Amino acid sequence: MKIVGTTGRDDIARAYIAEMRPGRLVEFCESVEPPIPRKDKWVLIVSTMFGCPVGCQMCDAGGQYGGNLSAGEILSQIDFLIERRFPDRHVDVSKFKIQFARMGEPALNPNVIDVLRRLPDRYNAPGLMPSVSSVAPSGGAGFFDELAGVKANLYGGGRFQLQFSIHTTDGALRDRLIPVKKWDFGEIAAYGENFHEQGDRKITLNFALAEGMPVDPEVLLGHFEPELFLLKLTPLNPTYRAAEHQLASRIDPECAGESPRMVADLKAAGYDVLFSAGDAEENLIGSNCGQYVQRHLRAREALSRAYTYECEVVEG
């Protein structure tokens, strides 16, 4: 792996562009959450594919799919980020999250399972908590079967985070946003009920809130038990694909102290709700999920409120 570019700030987030094979590039990121120090929380976001075949309407990593990364190529991203700050691979961080969420749908790459099996022995990281975020593609059934076993054997007691990105409770609009054959809500719920064991974290349902995309508590209650599932609401990131599809965020990410009315409605329905406006600076860096620095470098017209940091080219 060869680092060819980087952008961002070490005290918030930094994204890297790496050449994995001749002419084949991926991106990966690290972030902290000010004012929480790195020793308390550190997040790595790594790629699992060259591009992504799913093509979600808000995600700049979609398109130009070039196949799966090998387990070694996924691990090389993690190795680089860890060894840059912890050369002896002793990661003295209370909450050390590795998210498989930058480029690619992890459930369509079986090498992710191999990586998850190898992580505990590869690093001395007592705070390790892997996180798999998926749109629940229909072709991932075998992956999810293996994932349940890996979690039970290696990451019990709340040391694993499973997330399903669904974005709206309207089935037709969900199909528009995520244009791939995927599990319906009943299938996601049934898997979650089998996956979840006593002591596990609740399974997260992700909603990147776009205008016109409803989140109906009654629909959710018809499928997802509040005892097993929590809801995470975030602004829709300002991406090129979101602009192309005329998607606008329902939440201004710069108004972090204001939560939408729907939060109260969802809590009243019995759900734990995490409303995360995040750090708007990450949009400028391009380190948020769904963003893709290479797309910005190819673009003819720049976005507003995103990708304003210069990408530093790394020589040699």
Residue 141, domain CATH: 3.20.20.70
292: confidence class by pLDDT, cuts 50, 70, 90: low
Whether pTM > 0.85 for this model: the answer is: yes
Please give the structure tokens belonging to residue 261. Answer: 């009315």
Task: Provide the pLDDT for residue 136.
Answer: 98
Task: Provide the pLDDT for residue 177.
Answer: 96
Top pLDDT among 249 and 269 is at 269
- How does pLDDT run across 87-106, given as a tens digit for each residue? 999 999 999 999 999 899 99
Q: In angstroms, rounded to a whole number, what is the distance separating the alpha carbons of residues 302 and 285?
A: 13
Mean pLDDT confidence for 287-310: 65
Mean pLDDT confidence for 248-273: 80
3-state class (DSSP) for residue 133? strand
Task: Provide the pLDDT for residue 53.
Answer: 93
Contact residues for 229 (Cβ-Cβ < 8 A; gap 6+) = 189, 192, 202, 203, 204, 205, 220, 271
Q: In angstroms, rounded to a whole number, what is the distance separating the alpha carbons of residues 68 and 25?
A: 12
| Whether pLDDT at 290 is above 90 | no
| Whether pLDDT at 164 is above 70 | yes
- Structurally, how many domains does the chain consist of? 1
Enclosing domain of residue 277: 2-313
Q: In angstroms, rounded to a whole number, what is the distance separating the alpha carbons of residues 218 and 1?
A: 48
Beta strands at 203-209 and 229-235: parallel, antiparallel or unpaired: parallel
237: confidence class by pLDDT, cuts 50, 70, 90: confident
Top pLDDT among 314 and 247 is at 247
Task: Provide the pLDDT for residue 291.
Answer: 62
299: confidence class by pLDDT, cuts 50, 70, 90: low
Residue the block writes with tokens 């304003």: 308
Half-sphere exposure in the Cβ direction for 136 (13 Å, CA): 23
Q: In angstroms, rounded to a whole number, what is the distance separating the alpha carbons of residues 124 and 119?
A: 9
- How does pLDDT run across 5-44, given as a tens digit for each residue? 888 889 999 999 899 999 888 899 999 999 999 999 999 9
| Whether pLDDT at 285 is above 60 | no
Q: In angstroms, rounded to a whole number, what is the distance separating the alpha carbons of residues 69 and 74?
A: 6
Contact residues for 53 (Cβ-Cβ < 8 A; gap 6+) = 62, 65, 105, 108, 180
| Whether pLDDT at 240 is above 90 | no
Task: Provide the pLDDT for residue 262.
Answer: 87
CA distances to 80, 174, 235, 250 from 57, rounded to whole Å, are 31, 10, 15, 16
Mean pLDDT confidence for 278-303: 62
Mean pLDDT confidence for 276-290: 63
Task: Provide the pLDDT for residue 253.
Answer: 61
Q: In angstroms, rounded to a whole number, what is the distance separating the alpha carbons of residues 176 and 196?
A: 29
